[in-house]
C-alpha cells in the first residue's frame, strides 16, 4: 500500500479506468476525467510549497470547514495541476475563506456564479499562464487546471455539489474553470498586484464571485472616452449597485489608453461616472428590488457604489478591440492574496 505519510482515506483500484469510473460514479469530478490523486503526486504538491498535509490553509465560518493543505493538494492533482501551480491554488483557497468573499452564499445561490481567479505578477510567467489570446478559454494547462482545482475543492471538499448544494439556475462554463493572468506587457500601468499594494516582485491572486463574461465590441475611434462609453453601456445592463465589476481590456485598447496617458484610476472613475443614472430610470427598468426604499428618485445610482469596485485588468489577444466585463455576485467582494513562493 502506498501510504507515504498522508492522512486522507485511501482508495484502491484495479487500474486507471476503475479509478476514473469511481470518481464519476461518486460525483467527484466536474464531468471530465481526472488525474488519479496518488499519494506520490499529492506529496509532490505539498513538498513544492513546503506545507505539511495537516496545515490548515484557511477556514470557512458558515460550514465550519478547515481547508487542509492535503485536501487542497488532492483536488489540485485531480484537476491536472503540476506542483508549480500549487502556490496559486493555495492562495486562491486562502482568499475564498475571507468573509468578504461570502463563499458559502456564492456557492449555493441560484445566481450561478463561479470563482474567477485572476493572477497578477511575475509568477504567472514562471508557470506559463496565458494572458493573451483565448486567456479565458481553453488551451493552457495552468489556466485550465488552476481554475479547475479551485472548483473541485469547492465541490468535493466544501460540498457545493451541482444540483444539490449548488442551486444555480443556469450556471456557466466558468464552473469548470475560470482563471487567467494579467498581461503585464500590455501597458505601462503597474500590475494589479502593485495596484493592490504589493511590491513589484510579488504575485497575487484576486478572486471574484463571477457571473459569465460579457464581451463588448468597440466600433468607435481610439479616444478612450469613446470605447469606455460603450463599455459603460454594457455595465448599465448589469444593474445598479452591484457589488463589483471586473473589466478586461484588450492590448489594442490598452495601447490607446497608454497613448492618452490614462491611468487605471481614470478608467475606474470614467466608468463609474458614466454608469450613474437617476434612480427613477432604474425603477422604470424594474432593476431595483425595493423601489419604496429610494427616497429621492433623482439621486444618481451607479452600476457600482464607488469607482474602487471596478477592477481593470489588461489582457487578451493582440488583435481585437474588445472589452470583457464580468459582474460579481450579490454582496461578495473580490479578495486579493499573495502567492507565497519558496524562493
Binding residues (CB under 8 A) for other proteins: these are: 1-2, 6, 8-17, 19, 28, 36-39, 42, 62, 64-65, 70-71, 74-75, 78, 102, 104-105, 109, 152, 156-159, 289-290, 329-332
C-alpha dihedral, 171 to 335 to 94 to 147, nearest 10°: 40
CB-count exposure of residue 267 (10 Å: 0-12, 13-18, 19+)? buried
**For other proteins, the closer CB: 130 or 332:** 332
Please state the closest distance from residue 77 (CB atom) to other proteins, in A. Answer: 8
Residue 2: all three cell numbers together: 502506498
Please state the closest distance from residue 265 (CB atom) to other proteins, in A. Answer: 28
Residue 157: all three cell numbers together: 471538499
- Distance in angstroms (rounded) separating the CA atoms of residues 118 and 147: 10
**For other proteins, the closer CB: 102 or 120:** 102
Please state the closest distance from residue 101 (CB atom) to other proteins, in A. Answer: 12
**For other proteins, the closer CB: 38 or 263:** 38
What DSSP designation does 156 have? Answer: I
Please state the closest distance from residue 92 (CB atom) to other proteins, in A. Answer: 16
CB-count exposure of residue 296 (10 Å: 0-12, 13-18, 19+)? exposed
**For other proteins, the closer CB: 102 or 131:** 102
The helix (run of H) or strand (run of E) holding residue 79 is: helix 69-79
Q: How would you classify residue 239: left for phi > 0, otherwise alpha for psi between -120 and 50, otherwise beta?
A: left
**For other proteins, the closer CB: 123 or 329:** 329
Please state the closest distance from residue 339 (CB atom) to other proteins, in A. Answer: 23
**For other proteins, the closer CB: 112 or 330:** 330
Please state the closest distance from residue 271 (CB atom) to other proteins, in A. Answer: 23
Question: Backbone phi, then psi, for 58, in 5-degree steps?
Answer: -165, 165
- Distance in angstroms (rounded) separating the CA atoms of residues 291 and 298: 13
Amino acid at each position: 500500500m502506498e501510504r507515504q505519510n498522508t492522512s486522507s482515506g485511501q482508495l484502491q483500484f484495479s487500474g486507471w479506468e476503475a479509478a476514473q469510473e469511481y470518481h464519476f460514479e461518486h460525483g467527484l469530478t466536474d464531468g471530465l476525467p481526472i488525474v488519479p490523486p496518488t499519494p506520490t503526486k499529492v506529496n509532490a504538491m505539498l513538498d513544492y510549497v513546503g506545507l505539511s498535509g495537516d496545515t490548515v490553509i484557511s477556514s470557512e465560518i458558515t460550514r465550519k470547514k478547515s481547508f487542509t493543505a492535503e485536501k487542497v493538494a488532492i483536488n489540485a492533482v485531480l484537476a491536472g495541476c503540476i506542483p508549480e501551480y500549487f502556490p496559486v491554488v493555495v492562495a486562491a483557497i486562502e482568499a475564498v475563506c475571507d468573509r468578504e468573499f461570502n463563499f458559502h452564499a456564492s456557492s449555493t445561490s441560484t445566481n450561478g456564479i463561479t470563482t474567477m481567479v485572476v493572477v497578477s505578477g511575475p509568477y504567472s510567467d514562471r508557470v506559463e499562464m496565458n494572458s493573451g489570446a483565448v486567456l479565458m478559454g481553453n488551451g493552457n494547462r495552468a489556466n485550465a487546471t488552476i481554475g479547475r482545482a479551485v472548483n473541485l475543492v469547492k465541490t468535493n471538499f466544501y460540498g457545493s455539489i451541482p444540483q444539490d448544494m449548488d442551486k444555480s439556475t443556469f450556471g456557466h462554463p466558468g464552473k469548470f474553470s475560470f482563471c487567467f493572468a494579467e498581461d503585464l506587457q500590455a501597458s505601462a500601468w503597474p500590475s494589479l498586484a502593485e495596484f493592490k499594494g504589493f511590491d513589484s516582485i510579488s504575485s497575487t491572486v484576486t478572486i471574484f464571485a463571477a457571473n459569465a463574461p460579457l464581451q463588448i465590441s468597440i466600433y468607435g475611434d481610439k479616444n478612450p472616452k469613446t470605447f469606455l462609453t460603450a463599455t459603460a453601456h454594457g455595465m448599465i445592463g448589469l444593474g445598479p449597485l452591484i457589488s463589483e465589476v471586473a473589466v478586461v481590456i484588450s492590448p489594442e485598447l490598452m495601447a490607446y489608453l497608454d497613448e492618452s496617458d490614462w491611468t487605471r484610476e481614470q478608467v475606474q472613475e470614467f466608468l463609474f461616472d458614466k454608469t450613474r443614472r437617476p434612480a427613477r430610470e432604474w425603477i422604470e427598468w424594474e432593476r431595483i428590488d425595493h423601489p419604496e426604499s429610494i427616497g429621492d428618485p433623482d439621486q444618481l445610482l451607479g452600476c457600482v457604489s464607488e469607482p474602487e469596485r471596478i477592477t481593470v485588468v489588461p489582457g487578451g489577444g493582440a488583435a481585437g478591440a474588445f472589452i470583457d466585463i464580468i459582474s460579481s455576485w450579490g454582496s461578495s467582494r473580490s479578495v486579493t492574496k499573495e502567492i507565497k513562493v519558496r524562493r
